[in-house]
Amino acid sequence: MYSLLPYNTFGIDVNAARFLEYTSVEELKKLIAQGAVTTPFLHIGGGSNLLFTKDYDGLILHSRIEGIEVTEEDAHSVSVRVGAGVVWDDFVAYCVEHGWYGAENLSLIPGEVGASAVQNIGAYGVEVKDLITAVETVNIRAEEHVYSVEECGYTYRNSIFKRPENKSAFVTYVRFRLSKEEHYTLDYGTIRQELEKYPSLTLSVIRKVIIDIRESKLPDPKVLGNAGSFFMNPIVPKEKLEALQQEYPRIPYYELADGRVKIPAGWMIDQCGWKGKALGPAAVHDKQALVLVNRGGAKGSDIIALSDAVRASVREKFGIDIHPEVNLIN
């Protein structure tokens, strides 16, 4: 048995029957050819978006493919090819240091580059799908395939890679295009407010502001086990918002291009009185109600019991279903 404690930020003490890592496409293809990749299997990144409910009776695969390579560059933009095993925030820092615009609002999101393309990570008005140009994969038959961004089927926190039939497509590299022209996304959360503390606006200032905001709200997984935002923000028709505004005139929302609106799940959870409340060893974080935490010794089932209770409260009070962003591994 192989301990998965270092491979899940929730700090759930579970084991896997087998564990394999690889550092290149060639090594992965060799493992497949040798018959080492047996079912059931689960491919993980940094384990920052997983909740294990029990020991995993199969093979855990983990990429250690590194490298950030510039593949194309002109006066306006730069294209880069990044290994799936690169830590996401290291890549963001690299972009900021090189004066490349686009990734800075995604600073300090935990996990690795490969998982960013599976999950379509996002924060502060930016989604990674807007930076991705293609995703390179190897499947269980050791065949390589490059998916264009259009083929990836990106929607809010979703992609074709999350579908059961594509679980055997292992992301090896992600290709991104970043801008060299100055542009920022500032109208989200308290970004503009925080920027008032600084004399000028630069990429590194934006990165610092985003990191400060995240650190003020989100617990460090090394101290308090968590997977960042546990719930997705629900997207509802405009009519549903208007009905809720009758009772909650100050309800926050963000308008989407398709006419629907996104309502912050954290606000609704807070309104239900859950912020800072615990159910056994699992709790809703006291600074950010979107985050569920392991206070110590929690099992996956404890986190799920809390999640179910929170979801029931939101459904009862607002008539809206909220869903976990975290992948539950049963």
Selecting among 177, 229, 307, 311, the annotated active-site residue is 229
First to last CA, the chain: 17
Q: What is the mean pLDDT of residues 105-133?
A: 96
Is residue 204 annotated as part of the catalytic site, yes or no? no
What pLDDT shows up at residue 59? 97
The letter for the amino acid at 92 is: V
Q: At what angle do helices 88-97 and 203-217 cross, to 10 degrees?
A: 150
Q: What is the mean pLDDT of residues 70-80?
A: 98
Model confidence at 167, pLDDT cuts 50, 70, 90, reads confident
> Contact, 11 vs 282, CB < 8 A?
no
Give the residues across from 236 on adjacent strands: 261
Selecting among 104, 112, 194, 325, the annotated active-site residue is 325
**Is the confidence at residue 188, as pLDDT, over 90?**
no
What pLDDT shows up at residue 217? 87
Is residue 157 annotated as part of the catalytic site, yes or no? yes
**Is the confidence at residue 161, as pLDDT, over 90?**
yes
What pLDDT shows up at residue 325? 92
The pair of structure tokens assigned to 148 is: 């264009």
The residue with tokens 């989100």 is 218
For 278, list phi and psi in degrees, rounded to 5: -120, 155
Mean per-residue pLDDT of the chain:
96
Q: What is the mean pLDDT of residues 279-302?
A: 96
What pLDDT shows up at residue 124? 93
Selecting among 18, 64, 81, 157, the annotated active-site residue is 157
**Is the confidence at residue 330, as pLDDT, over 90?**
no
> Contact, 191 vs 198, CB < 8 A?
no
Question: Per residue in 203-226, is it b (16+ CB within 10 Å) or e — as a string?
Answer: bebbbbbbbebbeebbbebeebbb
The letter for the amino acid at 94 is: Y
Long-range contacts from 25-33, C-beta under 8 angstroms, 24+ separation: 25/65, 25/138, 25/144, 25/172, 28/63, 28/138, 28/142, 28/170, 28/172, 29/138, 29/142, 32/138, 32/140, 32/141, 32/142, 33/142
What pLDDT shows up at residue 11? 96
Give the pTM.
0.91
Model confidence at 189, pLDDT cuts 50, 70, 90, reads confident
